[in-house]
Copies of this chain bind each other. A is one copy, B any other.
Amino acid sequence: MKMGEAGKEVNLGILGLGGRGTGQTMLLASMPDVHIRAVFDPYPDRVENALKKLNDAVSYPVCGAESAQSLIERGDIDAVIIMSDWETHIDLAVRAMKAGKHAAMEVGGACSTEECRDLVQTSKATGKGCMLLENCCYGEVEMTLLNMVRQGVFGELVHCQGGYEHDLRDEIGNGDLKRHYRQHNFLHRCGELYPTHELGPIFKYLNIGHGNRMVSLVSMASKAAGLHAWLEKNRAGTPLVDLHFNEGDIVNTIIKCAGGETILLTHDCTLPRPYSRGGRIQGTKGIWMEDNRSIHLDGITPQRKEDWSHSWESDEKYMEEYRPQLWKDYREYGMRGGHGGMDYLALRAFLEAVQQDTPFPIDVYDTAALMVITALSEQSIANGSMPVAIPDFTDGKWMLKKDEAVGPYRL
């Protein structure tokens, strides 16, 4: 199917209409082969706002469902898009699959290993799929790097790292208590709350699920000082200043893979800083680093006279040279949607697999393994940074299992 071409109609139910949910809903509504049948959110004002926007955008009627369950059980939908609070994602996806619907979830981490196992077992039992809408897997930089990794540019991979390094003090420390998932999660939990933006692409670089898997992790949290300092300065005299946040400002997690590779993740959301996903790829032939958008390839990168050690070079020409087909087509078609266009690609990857009844490029095993990192990092921190074994949700199939996704959205 050519990019932008309408496929078979996909009928959707939408759960979760906060800022992100509404934005993604409107992007879905713009697709000619998508029919949004019903939406739901526990806050009536959000539903009202979304329905108003949808009525302006589409020519068909959209229903406001009475509950999440009544939406899930509708007979006129093929799939449910879940964009609610992090801690409700898996429960809703399980219920959707049990009701015979495919499930797509916005990103977020799991709260227990058991719910991740439940997600996988439900998918196996029902034959319905579940895909984490990890948009960063479809980022242009990330897909270009994946192409470089697969072509052996970095040699044998040894170490990858990434982070969610995003100053969210303003969002978390606002007055609208309990309505934003980040606020109650940061108040109550302490762990790698948001691992998948960086770990999703790394999963693919390291062939996790297909000949490799993550076997253990350790996690350590710093004290939580950033939000309190920010609130004292910016919300003095409000009850927010007295809140105690459990989430440490910096949480570092190191993961060991069966192939011997290590992965370092950094969660850094409550101190002042420019945004970064802190990407790094290291192999026997070279290194790429996001924070200076540079690369060094052994024997290839030109040596600058002024450097006593090896030199960096800009990654720009490599980004051009190794741009993957999907992104060439997408640039020609015209990028749309949020986050540099990658939101659109992640949604299309899900929708076109539903249309063609093919495996999702981020399948239920990937989804469970990505999300479980949050629960395991909480366990490690709770036990003084003890190493924690990472469950094998494939029950050994990862050793020989091929990636069965097909088509242009295959990762």
Query: Measuring CB to CB, which residues of chain A are less than 8 angstroms from any residue of chain B?
Result: 155-156, 158-159, 166-167, 216, 218, 220-223, 225-226, 229-230, 248-250, 252, 254, 256, 259-262, 264, 268, 271-275, 282-287, 289, 291-292, 296-298, 307-312, 384-387
- For A249, list chain B residues within 8 Å (CB): 158-159, 282
- For A221, list chain B residues within 8 Å (CB): 262
Q: What is the distance, in angstroms, from A381's C-beta to the closest C-beta of chain B? A: 10
With A220-B218, A385-B256 in contact, do A250 and B159 touch (Cβ < 8 Å)?
yes
For A218, A261, A292, the residue with the greatest tally of chain B CB atoms inside 10 Å of its CB is A218
State A226–B248 Cα separation when bound (angstroms).
Answer: 34
A167 touches B309 (CB 8 A): yes
With A167-B309, A220-B254 in contact, do A273 and B261 touch (Cβ < 8 Å)?
no
- For A296, list chain B residues within 8 Å (CB): 272-274
Q: What is the distance, in angstroms, from A166's C-beta to the closest C-beta of chain B? A: 7
A260 touches B310 (CB 8 A): no
B385 touches A218 (CB 8 A): yes
Partner of A272, one of B166, B218, B252, B287: B287
B310 touches A275 (CB 8 A): yes
B273 touches A229 (CB 8 A): no
For A283, A284, A310, A384, the residue with the greatest tally of chain B CB atoms inside 10 Å of its CB is A284
Copy total for this chain: 2
Partner of A287, one of B155, B271, B282: B271
B222 touches A260 (CB 8 A): yes
Q: Could you list 25 A-B pairs, sorted by A, with CB under 8 Å?
A: A155-B229, A158-B223, A158-B250, A159-B249, A159-B250, A223-B261, A229-B284, A229-B285, A230-B284, A248-B260, A252-B264, A256-B385, A272-B284, A272-B285, A272-B287, A272-B296, A272-B297, A272-B310, A273-B296, A274-B296, A274-B310, A274-B311, A291-B292, A384-B387, A386-B386
Closest-by-CB residue of B relative to A166 is B309
Looking at chain A's contact residues, the main secondary structure is loop
Partner of A274, one of B155, B159, B307, B386: B307
Closest-by-CB residue of B relative to A249 is B158
- For A229, list chain B residues within 8 Å (CB): 155-156, 284-285
B309 touches A274 (CB 8 A): yes
State A310–B216 Cα separation when bound (angstroms).
Answer: 34
State A262–B229 Cα separation when bound (angstroms).
Answer: 18
B222 touches A262 (CB 8 A): yes
A223 touches B309 (CB 8 A): no
Closest-by-CB residue of B relative to A227 is B284
- For A218, list chain B residues within 8 Å (CB): 218, 220, 254, 385, 387
With A216-B384, A284-B229, A284-B271 in contact, do A158 and B312 touch (Cβ < 8 Å)?
no
A225 touches B272 (CB 8 A): no
Partner of A254, one of B254, B261, B297: B254
State A108–B411 Cα separation when bound (angstroms).
Answer: 44
Which 3 pairs across A and B sit closest by C-beta, in order of nearness? A223-B260, A275-B309, A272-B298
With A272-B296, A292-B292, A386-B386 in contact, do A250 and B282 touch (Cβ < 8 Å)?
yes
Q: What is the distance, in angstroms, from A382's C-beta to the closest C-beta of chain B? A: 12
A273 touches B310 (CB 8 A): yes
State A249–B230 Cα separation when bound (angstroms).
Answer: 39
- For A254, list chain B residues within 8 Å (CB): 218, 220, 252, 254, 385
B271 touches A282 (CB 8 A): yes
For A166, A222, A230, A248, the residue with the greatest tally of chain B CB atoms inside 10 Å of its CB is A222
Closest-by-CB residue of B relative to A255 is B220
Q: What is the distance, in angstroms, from A308's C-beta to the closest C-beta of chain B? A: 8
Partner of A225, one of B156, B252, B286, B292: B156
With A264-B252, A309-B166 in contact, do A222 and B272 touch (Cβ < 8 Å)?
no
State A273–B260 Cα separation when bound (angstroms).
Answer: 20
Besides the known contacts A272-B296, A272-B298, A384-B387, 19 further A-B residue pairs in the complex with CB atoms under 8 A apart:
A158-B222, A159-B222, A159-B268, A159-B271, A167-B309, A167-B310, A218-B218, A220-B254, A220-B262, A225-B260, A250-B282, A252-B254, A252-B264, A271-B283, A274-B296, A274-B307, A274-B311, A274-B312, A291-B292
